[in-house]
Structure formats: C-alpha cells, structure tokens
C-alpha cells in the first residue's frame, strides 16, 4: 500500500477514536424543548450522581456570569436517572448523559454532541466511559468544552426565537443607527432621540420563593435595551474607563427616574465593578467589546433601586460612530436573572450592519 495512503488512513482512524466525535443533527418533528433557561439535565445512575462526580459537575458546569450580585449562575443542574428519562423530560433543552459502557475501549471518554434529538433547538451531549475512573476523569478535567457548548447554545437558542417582523421599531433602528436587530415579540419604544433609543421588552413574571413559608408571590422582571451612538475619534475611546464615562453621560440625560433629578448610573463598588471583554456578534462579522456590570438610580442625596446590564460596543465602519447596545435587567433579588440576561445577550448578539 502507498505510504501516503497509509498515513491518511492512520490520521482518519485517530480522528475517529478521539475523545470527541463529530456533532450530529437529528429531526425533532417540530416539538418544543422543555426545562428552564439556565438548567442542564444530568442523566445518570443514582450511584454516580451521589458520588464525587456530582461535586466535579457542580464546580465545572455551574460557573458564574460576573460581576453580578446576587450571583447569576450560567447553569443549575437537575438530575434524572435513566429509568425516569422518559416522555417530555427527554425534550429537555440542555441534556448531559453520563454512562459507563464495558464494551467501550477508548483511552479517553467519548463525548458526542447531538442537536434537535427529541425537540427543536435541543442540545444533548453524551459522555461514554469504559469504567468509573474514566468517567471521573472527564468530569473532573474535561467539562470546559461541554460547559462552553451549552453556554453558546443557550443564547443562540433564544436568538432563533426572537422576532423578525419588519415593524416600525425595526425600521427606525435601521435608519438611525445603520444596524439591524432582533427583538422579543411585544417590545416597544419608550424613548427616542437621534443618538439614543430605549426599548422595553415585555414584562416577565417569575416566582419568588419565600424560604421557610412554602408560599410564592410573583416578582416582576423589567428588561430592555438602550441603543446609543457618538462620534468615533480614536481607539482610546474604547478602553473601559472612557466607555464608562461616555455611558454615564448618555444615561444621565436619557434615562431619568420618576423622581426628579434621579437617573440611571453605573455602580462602581469593587465587588461589582464593570468588566470589559473582547467579543463578536453572532455572525462573527462585527468585532467589539462586551461590558457587564450593575446599575443603580442615582440622586445627589439618595440612591434608588438598580439591576444588571450587559452591553456590546463596536465601531460602525461606514458611519464612523461608536455604537453601544446596552441591555438591562431590573428584577427582585429573590428571582433568577438568568433568563432575562440571556435574552439581553441574544439581542445584542443579533446585531448586523446594514449601511
């Protein structure tokens, strides 16, 4: 056999036996996913769940989205045994199956990603190990890529379901800022200037659980986005301090509170000081910076309530403007912020340039 052909065959065999197999797509027959945004269903035997593996899964899959307070976890874990992984539970949006197969002979656990298996936009990841020790190893040292896959698909799934209708609010955003966005159904414009828009998302109601009482009461979640722009002069404008200074100026004059002289401002306490990271939009065509932090309504003699913000800054190459899409979530601390923050993330990720 030709030596080059032998080399190709060897490489192909090595790829097939690697720890992660090629992702597969299935037909879900149009069924919708179950489970909450920010949850991963772990399917494994009770003996596995009750052992050390549970701790490794907790530490590797339940990371925090910084710098929010109260803490916002990327995911919470929900467990089911294989015998109870039936009916609608099989359509869980994020599912991780852990299993030991004595017939598997690989040197490392096999990781296989599957999309749309029992529901549209479902991501199911199967981890197959030859023995318990191999499963422990992958749960201890091999969860980063698995977490990142679920993390990426969480906002991507929401983006797929955002509104695409060509309503006046979309036309106005396009003409004023030269960008196109996708928004939740029912979003409405509440403030508009040439350089600043504020758009509210439909108010969401989440349950608040009162510890020790067993009772619940609705906690209303208010969220939306602000879009603003200003002239781009040089790259020094894109460092954290300058972006924060410009943000506070824009918000002071465009996001007033119902109390006179009170306005939305940034929180600068050490524990929640805003962070800035390089990132891209969903298509990868726009490079920019994401900023995460906390806001509060400020006044010369008192401070009001606040919440979280998640923003995306970039330079519009044709208009020579710095554009910021800043989502906000104002919600009780006793209810989860994960879903509304993911929705905000999906909205700014959806941005595209049009002119």
Q: What is the pLDDT of residues 126-145, one digit of tens each?
A: 999 999 999 999 999 999 99
Report in angstroms the alpha-carbon separations of 234 from 103, 238, 242, 290, 321: 61, 8, 11, 18, 11
Dihedrals φ, ψ of 135, to 5°?
A: -70, -40
Q: What is the dihedral of CA 116, 120, 122, 123, to 10 degrees?
A: 40
Q: Is 204's pLDDT higher than 80?
A: no
pLDDT of residue 332: 76
pLDDT of residue 334: 76
Q: Is 214's pLDDT higher than 60?
A: no
Write down the pTM of the prediction. Answer: 0.86
Dihedrals φ, ψ of 283, to 5°?
A: -80, -10
Cis peptide bond N-terminal to 67, omega within 30: yes
Confidence of residue 8 (pLDDT cuts 50, 70, 90): very low
Q: Is 158's pLDDT higher than 70?
A: yes
Q: Is 184's pLDDT higher than 90?
A: yes
The region of weakest confidence among 52-56, 160-164, 244-248, 277-281 is 160-164
Name the nearest CA neighbour of 352 among 270, 250, 283.
Answer: 283
Q: Is 206's pLDDT higher than 90?
A: no
- Structural domains of the chain, ranges and CATH numbers in brackets: 19-160 (3.30.379), 168-353 (3.40.1000.10)
DSSP string of 76-132, one letter each residue: EEEEE-GGG--GGGGGBSEEEEEEE-TT---SS-EEEEEESSSSTT-EEEEEEESSH
Mean pLDDT across 142-158: 97
Beta bridge partners of 97: 43, 126
């Amino acid at each position: 056999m030709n030596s080059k052909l032998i080399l190709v065959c060897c490489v192909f065999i090595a790829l097939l036996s690697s720890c992660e197999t090629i992702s597969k797509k299935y037909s879900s027959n149009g069924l919708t996913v179950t489970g909450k945004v920010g949850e991963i269903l772990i399917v494994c035997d009770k003996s596995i769940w009750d052992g050390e593996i549970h701790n490794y899964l907790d530490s590797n899959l339940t990371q925090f989205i910084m710098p929010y307070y109260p803490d916002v976890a990327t995911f919470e874990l929900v467990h089911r045994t294989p015998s109870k992984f039936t009916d609608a539970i099989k359509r869980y949006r994020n599912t991780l199956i852990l299993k030991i197969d004595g017939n598997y002979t690989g040197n490392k656990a096999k990781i296989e990603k599957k999309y749309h298996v029992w529901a549209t936009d479902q991501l199911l990841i199967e981890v197959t190990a030859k023995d318990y020790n191999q499963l422990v190893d992958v749960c201890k040292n091999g969860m980063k890529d698995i977490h990142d896959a679920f993390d990426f698909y969480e906002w991507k799934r929401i983006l797929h379901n955002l509104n695409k209708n060509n309503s006046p609010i979309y036309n106005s955003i396009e003409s004023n800022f030269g960008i196109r966005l996708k928004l939740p159904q029912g979003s409405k414009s509440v403030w508009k200037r040439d350089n600043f828009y504020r758009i509210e998302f439909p108010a969401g109601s989440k349950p608040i659980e009162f510890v020790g009482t067993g009772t619940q009461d609705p906690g209303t979640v208010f969220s939306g986005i602000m879009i603003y722009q200003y002239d781009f002069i040089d790259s020094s404008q894109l460092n954290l301090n300058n972006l924060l200074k410009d943000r506070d100026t824009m918000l002071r004059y465009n996001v007033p509170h119902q109390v006179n002289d009170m306005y939305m401002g940034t929180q600068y306490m050490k524990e929640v000081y805003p962070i800035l990271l390089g990132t891209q939009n969903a298509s990868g065509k726009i490079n920019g910076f994401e900023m995460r932090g906390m806001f509060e309504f400020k006044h010369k003699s008192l401070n009001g309530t606040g919440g979280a913000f998640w923003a995306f800054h970039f330079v519009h190459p044709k208009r020579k403007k710095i554009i910021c899409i800043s989502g906000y979530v104002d919600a009780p601390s006793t209810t989860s912020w994960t879903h509304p923050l993911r929705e905000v993330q999906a909205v700014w990720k959806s941005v595209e340039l049009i002119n």
